[in-house]
Structure 1
């Protein structure tokens, strides 16, 4: 397998666990997307239309600042990008990350965690953000309670990564 990077955004720790599992299976390096201003519990309250996450997700131009830009994606063949599903898609900070790097010649694989929403809308939205740079392969929701190590291994094998 080529050189892999697992990038993730995980304000609650759920996506971090999925990212660690995926990195362990693929032998990938890990990189956490950290917001310049960390999210509080109140910021993540999806039931409050005035919460930070609600405001960001209502604004398609929102690009929350990232604490650093040290991912060094150019050193990798495949970049897995993981996030929680917010409002049926990826948090806008993922677009901030994608727009900060050149993914030309890279394989990009999205993975997400959610209580029930699948990853397809997020994948479509993020493909638009990539604007033809990089080749997107697959996408997976990793929060199903019956999602086993065996299923993850089969999914990775089916990606046919370099």
Structure 2
């Protein structure tokens, strides 16, 4: 079984976690990058006119991504992201919709200091029912290599 770790990271936290996961399971890794990088002003969730707020308020919006990846050779795809507005950022939808993930096994992992993963998983399962979703995990971004290895080996 071949595994791919994909992730979107706005601040670097999710990137560090994704790299640890990929190392722990010797998986390929792919960064989901926006066509136009997010600035700090874009990420200001307290500003109703910031790019991230506008995107998250329009659930149909799909931020363009820099590139896609052919996932046909992968059996399991881990998808990592920071939690935005209690769910996955809409760029995750852009990624999923750019690939044919029907029948693939997917595991979400999120980074958040307080919000859990359950709502994120439910939203993704409801939006993409043809994907075989397995239970994911919320990570804080400060887990040790051993903690990451223990989780991925479960």
Would you say the 8 A contact 2:14–2:141 is kept in 1? no
| CA offsets 1:36-71 (integer angstroms, 9 cap, x no match) | 1111110000111110000111111111111112x2
1:154 to 147, 150, 154: 150
Task: Name structure 2 gaps, 5 residues minimum.
Answer: none
Which residue in 2 is equivalent to 1:3?
A: 2
| CA offsets 1:99-120 (integer angstroms, 9 cap, x no match) | 1111123110000101210111
Q: Does 1:49 align with 2:45?
A: no
Which residue in 1 is equivalent to 2:102?
A: 104
Task: Name structure 1 gaps, 5 residues minimum.
Answer: none
Q: Does 1:138 align with 2:109?
A: no
Measure, in 1, the Cα distance between the counterparts of 2:36 and 2:144. 34
| CA offsets 1:113-162 (integer angstroms, 9 cap, x no match) | 012101110111111221x22211111111164x343332232222xxxx
Within 5 Å, give how 1:28-107 maps onto structure 2: 28-69=27-68, 71-107=69-105
Instruction: Calculate the TM-score normalised by the size of structure 2.
Output: 0.94
Would you say the 8 A contact 2:16–2:141 is kept in 1? no
Deviation for aligned residue 1:32: 0.5
Aligned pair count?
Answer: 154
Q: Secondary structure at the match of 1:18?
A: helix
2:117 to 116, 119, 132: 119
Would you say the 8 A contact 1:80–1:110 is kept in 2? yes
Instruction: Calculate the TM-score normalised by the size of structure 1.
Output: 0.90
